[in-house]
Structure 1
């Protein structure tokens, strides 16, 4: 099975890796499961369950976003995905996605009932890769959007690329957003204070089902500005991966995806204002006959900064 379908396996792995980075680099429901209407792709984002480990110091209070519809937010989001893959003794392949820097303007429509509707407009997106930068030219002015609960949980992602946007540009932008939504900080329902620790559990769905656990620590709070340290771990939900498109199955021999970072959020703004989260690891898969192994190393990062 494996040698005859190498190309299909490679393509499937690339999809899973990119989605998971973000998600999961694995991250959200795969684009194939999305609803597409009039050029807009809506991708549901799996629910997050929070559990407080340590409520932190007094004073404690519930932490909720109160987004201001009259105050647009401008921020830069930079994503990067390094993917190196080797099948058996073949030469290693570089399936990396060049770094992407996206100027975003976020506006809020209405109150949280039950979630804010956040509209996003892309400025001129750039990349060190000249070919990708050229392809991204048509994407300037693209629209996207989030459904965001007051806890910070993102429940849906909407992307509306212009019709003239090349596939390579659309894919790069989509994967960048997938990474961002699966690295969002979600606050617990109960009151917390400085030093609080809580976990965020979320199912990451792409070609493979992953469980993502993010441990968050409230390092500092200055009014509505909060600094949160995070650590991320992803594990597969089954020891066998069923490949998409009826390509068979692969045994998951090794799967390690962990990461850390720090995010700074403003409770009046929908997107982080500063910080970076990086997740990296190694995966090894083998065909059921154990005749061929596929090894993959990945590193994915999302960085937020001021324009």
Structure 2
């Protein structure tokens, strides 16, 4: 028994990326109630109706602290204005002449809590998709809320999603998948002083249909004021040969597997989300079922953009 391509939830096994340029304008999706223009007192933390999604923790190892004067890339939350940025994700699976792909474009308005710098609150704008059926299902999502717990080094810890009224399961799944893709490919910053040219490695273990070990090698190419530009390469490998078919008790055996990516992101220490960049992943896998002479060969892809 072989799974249909998109049911493999590749998004949960792949991850984040980033292109374009961010905007700090405050005239996109409606904001939650605020005590100041750029921060909010309305939090999704502790809400009983919020869906809590843990983000796999990452370890950060500095390989080279860089040349010149070193400083700590500590968060400096901007509470003077909200962040407006658009997240665009595209995930795909192709096999035997068939290709399933899903693109979601999601405007976000992000505000730090007025009193808690680890709490980032987000309001979704008009979420769209090229697929007309999904696009229609996404319409009720506009104005819904999400929250993000952030740890040291701007590391995402958990995502909170409030249910969008009138939105069906397909729309909610698309929003959830897009945000998780981005957060699982985020690049936490070292908590020790670094300078231009610094290199560090980020490692995560991601549990999905296949348990994956993710390595991100990051290089700081420039640091101007609060903005850091970071080049990244990504390599993901399965920890074992088991592929669990989503929604089923059946499993397949992984015969071969590759998944790599490259990109660049721009981080602003005053903002909770990346302000620009792109990471593009591409891979292939061979899944073997009851008949070893008839393996399922698949090509996978993921692009995550911030603009």
Segments of 5+ residues of structure 2 without an aligned counterpart are: 18-45
Secondary structure at the aligned position of 1:22 is classed as: coil
Identify the residue that residue 11 of structure 2 maps to in structure 1.
18
TM-score with structure 1 setting the length: 0.85
Partner in structure 2 of residue 94 of structure 1: 99
DSSP 3-state at the match of 2:298: strand
Q: Deviations over 1:188-220 (max 9, x none)?
A: 122110011100001111122100000000010
2 CA distance for matches of 1:249 and 1:184? 29
> Which of structures 1 and 2 has the larger relative contact order (alpha carbons within 8 angstroms, sep 6+)?
2
State the 1:110 CA deviation: 4.3
Give the drift of 1:23.
6.1
Let me know the Cα RMSD of the aligned residues: 2.1
Match of 2:301 in 1: 299
Q: Which residue of 2 aligns with 1:146?
A: 148
Counterpart secondary structure, 1:292: coil
Asked whether 1:192 is paired with 2:194, we answer yes
Q: 2:262 aligns with which of 257, 260, 263?
A: 260
Q: Distance in 2 between matches of 1:183 and 1:207?
A: 17
Q: Which runs of 5+ in 1 are unaligned?
A: 25-35, 87-91
Please say if residues 85 and 95 of structure 1, whose CA atoms lie closer than 8 Å, have aligned partners that are also in contact. Answer: no
Q: How far apart in 2 are the matches of 1:302 and 1:74? A: 17
Maintained 8 Å contact 1:75/1:103: yes
User: What secondary structure, in the 3-state scheme, does the structure 2 residue paired with 1:96 have?
Assistant: strand
**Which residue number in structure 2 is paired with residue 290 of structure 1?**
292
Equivalences for 1:213-292 in 2 at 5 Å? 213-243=215-245, 247-287=249-289, 289-292=291-294
Between the aligned partners of 1:111 and 1:291, the Cα distance in structure 2 is 60
1:15–1:206 contact (8 Å) kept in structure 2: no
Matches within 5 A, 1:6-45: 6=2, 9-10=3-4, 14-22=7-15, 38-45=48-55
**Per-residue CA distance 1:84-136 (angstroms, 9 max, x = gap):** 134xxxxx332211x22111000111455xx6111110111122222222111
Write 1 or 2 for the structure with the bigger share of helix.
Answer: 1
Conserved? CA contact 1:23–1:204, under 8 Å: no
Counterpart residue number, 1:103: 107
